Each structure stands twice: as C-alpha cells, then as structure tokens.
Structure 1
C-alpha cells in the first residue's frame, strides 16, 4: 500500500513537471507598441487624453461632480449639489449638441416601488436645476433605478449614503 501512494505521488509530480515544461517561452523580441490611442466610434480617448465632448471628457472634467448625493428619504438639491450641477451645466453649455441622462438611485431600504419613485424625484430634481441654469430640458432624460444598482454594497450608513445619488451620463 505504501508503495502505491509513493508511486502515485511520484506520478503526479512527474506529470506536473512535464506539463510545465511544455509552457510557452517568452518571445525573443516583443511586438512594437501600438502607439497613441485614437478616437473611434467606441473609443473616447485621443492621443492627448479624452476626446472633447465625450463621456470620458465629461467624467474627467467633472472630477466627481457628475454625481450628486441626497439625504435619507429626500430629493432636495442642497448647496453642494448646486455647485456640482453648475459645473455640469457649464460643460453642457460648451457642447450644445450633447444630451444627458440623469440616473436616480436609492439605498436598499424601502420597497422597490417606493425607491423607484424616490429615484425619479431625485433625477427630476437634478434635471430641473440644470434647466434653471439654462440647459434645455429636452436635452435631458431621466431614469430611476431605485435600489437596483447600488454603487456600495453593505448595510450600513456609509454604504447607504453613497447609494442615495443622481448620476449624470452624457449620450451622443
């Protein structure tokens, strides 16, 4: 019996060594660098950063201001949110042909139906504030995801605070 175990172990080790010996060896010369990225239909990065007017450009210029946050069971736009939305409005005024969707989100507490309605109120509050800053409301659509798309997983106040939000996403 002891010989069988030793033999089996030796067979497994020999097999592992044989398989590892068949692995690919590194090439002697690496292929050339593809060079700077270019703008394509799906890509949004140019040789010097994001393409102007793209979603990547919007996110880069907003530096976090593409998202506003709300208090528990609230859809009011506070002073900090107004600053972020003013920055969004400035970008949207620079690109008058760009449209945007504002996504309303909630934390996990409450029923699905209640959170869908609350997410809609949050998205509409952001849309209305952008409209008050001169952005044509027909350029902005809203959608509510309620509690279906949390950004932070967890059942604590820190996670819930991150999930009570409205996110602006630009579209072509």
Structure 2
C-alpha cells in the first residue's frame, strides 16, 4: 500500500512539473497586421551561408571586353551583395577578378585586378567596411569555359565575390 502512495505522488509531481514549463514561443507572422517591408536592421540576421549569398545576391558580375567598367546590371548585383553583407556582418569577402583568354598573361592579371578593384570600390561606396573586402586576380588562369566564341568569352570576363565567415580577412 505504501508503494502505491509513493508511485502516485511521483506521478502527480511529474504532472505538476510538466505544467510548470513555459509555453512554447508562438510564431510571428510578418505579414499579419500590416505591410511587411522585409527590412532588417544591419548585422541582425543569424547564420547565412555562401550558398544563400549566391542565391539571394548573386556572386558574379560581368564586364565588357578589355574593360573594368560596371554597367547597370553589375551595379544592381553589387547593391544586393552589399545589402546581404551588411545584414550578415560576420562574413568577409574576397573579390576574384578574371578575364577571357585574349591577350598576355600579364595583361589579363592586371585587367582582373582592375575588375576586382572596381567591385571593391563600389561595395565600399555602398557602406561596407574596407577591412572586410580583399581582392585577387586570376587573369585568364581560371576560365568558366575554354572557348573562342564571343558569346562564350563574355562569361569569363567577370568578378566573383566569395564570402566566408569571419569579419576580417
């Protein structure tokens, strides 16, 4: 009989302990009760990944032949990149400059460096800290495709923004 009382008391205590737990948090619907702007204060988003960066902002901008000028499409991509990087303040970047196969190795390394610098300068103008951005040039050494047609070569005239966790490089 005494064993039954102890067991009943244990069950009642377990039931009371379960009742004392706080309720699980409720999900907040950002669209309920007004217009959702999607605005998030800088540096407040948790996590993030290189894959998310590529999907949300795009990691590549293209350039005209023998040029390091940013066109409107490139600038729009860089605005998205800057916004993502501002929201994910724990990421640093390396801008990789590339060129097509035309010209000498030295010329293409210099052209890749100018392209990477153009992207870096634009991201800094968008409010990114210079210490989070590094540049490198691969010239014609790492083509997306080895080809000779103009339609194909344009894909090699690019700058690629590579992101990695770590606020400084």
**TM-score, reference length from structure 1:** 0.68
Tell me the secondary structure at the aligned position of residue 96 of structure 1.
coil
How many residues align? The count is: 120
> Structure 1, residues 17-67: CA drift from partner, whole Å, max 9, x if none?
xxxxxxxxxxxxxxxxxxxxxxxxxxxxxxxxxx932111111212xx210
CA RMSD of aligned residues (A): 1.1
Partner of 1:44: none
Corresponding residue for 1:104?
97
Residues of 1 paired with 2:145 and 2:124: CA distance? 29
**Residue in structure 1 matching 2:151, options 132, 135, 158:** 158
For structure 1, the 5+ residue unaligned runs are 1-50
Q: Which has the higher contact order (CA 8 A, sep 6+)?
A: 2
Query: TM-score when scaled to structure 2?
Result: 0.69
Q: Deviations over 1:89-147 (max 9, x none)?
A: 00000011210011000000000000000000000000000000000111000010000
Give unmatched runs, 5+ long, in structure 2: 1-45
Aligned residue number for residue 19 of structure 2: none
Q: 2:51 aligned with 1:56, yes or no?
A: yes
